[in-house]
Amino acid sequence: MNFSEGRLRVFDPRHECIDRGQLERLQLERLQQVVHRVQKNVPCYQNKFREAGVDAREIRNLSDLSRLPFTTKDDLRQNYPYDMFAVPMKEVVRIHSSSGTTGKPTVVGYTRSDLHTWTDLVARFMTAAGVHDEDIVHIAFGYGLFTGAFGLHYGAERIGASVIPMSGGNTEKQLMILQDYKSTALVCTPSYALTLADRMEQAGMNPRDLSLEVGLFGAEPWSEQMRVEIEERLGIVATDNYGLSEVMGPGVAGECLYKCGMHIAEDHFIAETIDPDTGDVLPPGSKGELVITTLTKEGIPLIRYRTRDITRIHQEICECGRTLARMEKTMGRSDDMLIIKGVNVFPTQIEEVLFKVEGCQPHYQLIVDREDNRDSLEVQVEVQECIFFDEMRQQREFVQSVEGELATMLGVSAKVKLVEPNSIPRHEGKAQRVIDRRNKDL
Amino acid sequence: MKVQQISIFIENKAGRLAEVTRVLGESGVNIRALSLADTSDFGILRLIVDKIDAAQEILKSGGFTVNKTDVVAVEVPDRPLGLYSILETLDRGRINVEYMYAFAEHDGANAVIIFRFDDPDAAVDLLRKTGIHMLDGEAVYNM
């Protein structure tokens, strides 16, 4: 292991190293409470439970969880902005929002107690990733509605580390601060970590000369190969962490220094894996869609929330001594949503843009790739008469206006490539919408 | 005085141009003139053919995207400043040329320029008034 003993600590041994029997008793007690709470306070759950013919009083064992209906992102959208909240607004002290850019984002509210839990859980995984009170933590996530920056910020403060709330962008300044302020821990997306390495090398700096020792990367899927590259180029230990704003934000799960899966905060969340098609619960170790039930959240508790992330969960005890189950790096999504440069992109948004620009609906395909460790999006559009012009100027203007509209709507840049009719493969008449080449080495 | 031209979208990859000419040729369509505008990704092929409706039909059923547009065919005397006098006339009349391409008549006495104007009617009027000789569709298709 290439890390010092001083970095091997456990933030909350009582919960992180809990005996499984004890954990399950705690989970059941908390599950019963949260199910009662949502049944009492959230109309969406009152309806869902009624339709499913279940009542909070019928939850007597953890296995009864599977009798409860799922919650989906759609439920959150339909109850936009505040109808999923289980407490009155006067108890909500913070609002965050998903990075979702489709029509309406999803809104989440935190009570004081929720923020306290969140801060502790982030402190927990940051400690597991090697951060301690002597670290100088450089946070290069954008501060705002996105949960990443604030989550890591308060978690690092909770540990007692010195936090630099750098926020995103301005790479030159990031480099100056990393160098001059002697940051020892870096928090950003994995792709940005490599951008920093590139920029340093271009400027003739050796990234390994920085004071950085650990890196905590999240908010987008990344491969083991990318981890190796980040670790080698920056000379750090790089760990992954998982969270989603609907459920809490970062802190749902995070890797320890043994890097063999992300420990799930099971005292606050029950994680199941299901078959995304049938909804059946799968045994531990099987690959399936991650479903999360929040046990302690007050602001917006979620019962069996379908994350759409595909992973495996392992319950074997980790070398680090933590007993909490570990989830593997996510292996893709069970629906069509893509995360490109940390931004949620839905294929249907492309349809909207194409329709808006020329009033017709050509076949299209999204090609997502990773070049030089940065996500790239190419939109291939089959040329139809309605978007074909005999003048090159008009044809290029069309491409440019689609690219412009896509950038505005998605928040990420996309290259538009015109292709001949029927060149996009169809399955049963339907074009395959997405080719994601990033996941081949995950 | 307008001539119909067909435009075909082709991806910039090996064999596509050949495929267009094969499909047309095997159906007995003869190409009179052509021009290709291209970018690194795609090209727009413009053709004047002897049987325009048949050509459009054949290409569409061959899976190509095809549009028909009106262009103007102008006969240009084969001598120095022959083209200039025409372009100067258009310029003075504030007629915008979107693109143009040329080919020679069989007898070699004159060249024919195909013009794509943003306003073909105005262009035809102007050219007629200044006595510049245009060819009608039939003349071009049957050259």
Domain extent listing, chain A = 5-327, 338-441
Residues from chain B contacting residue A422 (CB–CB below 8 Å):
63
The pLDDT value recorded for residue A427 is 57
Residue of B nearest to A380 (CA): B41
Q: Do B63 and A389 touch (CB under 8 A)?
A: no
Interface test with A, best of B6, B9, B70 (most A CBs within 10 A): B9
Residue of B nearest to A417 (CA): B41
Residues from chain A contacting residue B5 (CB–CB below 8 Å):
390
Both tokens assigned to A220: 């987008």
Q: Do B44 and A395 touch (CB under 8 A)?
A: yes
Is the domain covering A5-327 a CATH 3.30.2130.10 domain? no
Query: Strands A305-311 and A313-314: what pairing?
Result: unpaired
Both tokens assigned to B107: 């007898």
> Could you say which DSSP state residue B45 is in?
E
Going from N- to C-terminal start, the domains of chain B cover 3-69, 71-141
* Chain A CB within 8 Å of residue B89 CB: no
- The beta-carbon neighbor of B67 closest among A390, A393, A421 is A390
Q: Do A388 and B69 touch (CB under 8 A)?
A: no
Residues from chain B contacting residue A388 (CB–CB below 8 Å):
7, 9, 65, 67
Longest dimension (CA), chain B: 46
Write down the residue that tokens 């069996």 correspond to: A304
The pLDDT value recorded for residue A442 is 44
Sort A89 into a burial class: Cβ within 10 Å, 0-12 / 13-18 / 19+: exposed
Residue of B nearest to A381 (CA): B11
Nearest of A65, A111, A71, A116 to residue A87 by alpha carbon: A111
In words, the CATH class of domain B71-141 is alpha beta
Residue type, A319: E
Quick one: three-class SS letters along chain A? Answer: CCCCHHHCCCCCHHHHCCCHHHHHHHHHHHHHHHHHHHHHHCHHHHHHHHHHCCCHHHCCCHHHHHHCCCECHHHHHHCCCCCCCCCCHHHEEEEEECCCCCCCCCEEEEEHHHHHHHHHHHHHHHHHCCCCCCCEEEECCCCCCCHHHHHHHHHHHHHCCEEECCCCCCHHHHHHHHHHCCCCEEEECHHHHHHHHHHHHHCCCCHHHCCCCEEEECCCCCCHHHHHHHHHHHCCEEEEEEEECCCCEEEEEEECCCCCCEEECCCCEEEEEECCCCCCECCCCCCEEEEEEECCCCCCCCCCEEEEEEECEECCCCCCCCCCCEECCCCCECCCCEEECCEEECHHHHHHHHHHHHCCCCCEEEEEEEECCEEEEEEEEECCHHHCCCCHHHHHHHHHHHHHHHHHHHCCCCEEEEECCCCCCEECCEECCEEECHHHHC
Write down the residue that tokens 């969880």 correspond to: A65
Tell me the ipTM for this assembly.
0.87
The pLDDT value recorded for residue A373 is 80
Residues from chain A contacting residue B39 (CB–CB below 8 Å):
392, 396
Nearest of A275, A322, A297 to residue A115 by alpha carbon: A297
Pick the CATH number of B3-69 from 3.30.2130.10, 3.20.20.70, 3.90.1170.50, 3.90.1150.10: 3.30.2130.10
Q: Do B67 and A392 touch (CB under 8 A)?
A: no
* Chain A CB within 8 Å of residue B40 CB: no
pLDDT along chain A (442 residues), means of 10: 76 97 97 97 97 96 97 92 96 87 78 98 98 97 92 98 94 94 95 87 88 92 82 95 95 97 98 92 93 98 94 94 94 73 77 76 86 88 89 92 90 91 69 75 48
Q: How far apart are CA A152 and CA A138, in angstroms?
A: 10
CB A189 within 8 A of CB A219: yes
- Please write the tens of the pLDDT for every residue from B10-69: 998 889 999 999 999 999 999 999 999 988 889 999 999 999 999 999 999 888 999 999
The pLDDT value recorded for residue A426 is 67
* Chain A CB within 8 Å of residue B66 CB: yes
CA angle A327, A195, A225 (to 5 degrees): 40
Reported as half-sphere exposure (CB side, CA atoms, 13 A), residue A44 has a value of 22
Residues from chain B contacting residue A403 (CB–CB below 8 Å):
none
- The beta-carbon neighbor of A385 closest among B46, B67, B99 is B67
Residue of B nearest to A419 (CA): B11
The pLDDT value recorded for residue A424 is 83
Q: Do A390 and B46 touch (CB under 8 A)?
A: yes
- The beta-carbon neighbor of A388 closest among B41, B65, B98 is B65
CB A50 within 8 A of CB A350: no
Q: Which long-range contacts (CB under 8 A, 24 or more apart) does B102-107 make?
A: B102/B76, B103/B32, B103/B33, B104/B78, B105/B75, B105/B143, B106/B143
Q: How far apart are CA B18 and CA B41, in angstroms?
A: 17
Q: Do B41 and A418 touch (CB under 8 A)?
A: yes
Interface test with A, best of B8, B44, B48 (most A CBs within 10 A): B44
Distance from CA of A349 to the nearest CA of B (A): 24
Is the domain covering A338-441 a CATH 3.30.300.30 domain? yes
